[in-house]
Amino acid sequence: DPAAWLTNQAPIELARQSIQNPLDSNEPEFLYLYGRASLLNGNTEAAAPALKAAIARADAAPSAGNATVRKEATIALAALTLKSEKERAQALTHFDELLPKPSSSSSP
């Protein structure tokens, strides 16, 4: 339940991290969860910057876990663009980065 997560869990996480603004978090997973919950709750204005921040923080601290967070945040950002043209170009860039590059071979 995204509304319950935003009401109950998000404030606990903000207090644990000693921050008031979710976008001040350095934790990619929290930013992704906050962005996802905001998206599912219909708050695209809060979702987009949180998902972008999750991608940026995951890129800044590469790990297997952050690679997963980055992929999930990219997919969520792509879903958000289905509702909003505003974020389309950046979401497509992130999505293209996830796709494997074609291997160069001589056979078609």
> DSSP states of 4-53 as a string?
HIIIIIHHHHHHHHT-SSGGG---HHHHHHHHHHHHHTT-HHHHHHHHHH
Q: What are phi and psi of 105, to 5 degrees?
A: -140, 160
Q: Which of 20, 22, 19 is nearest to 38 (CA)?
A: 22
pLDDT tens readout for residues 39-89 = 999 898 999 999 999 999 999 999 999 999 999 999 998 888 876 677 677
| pLDDT value at 104 more than 80 | no
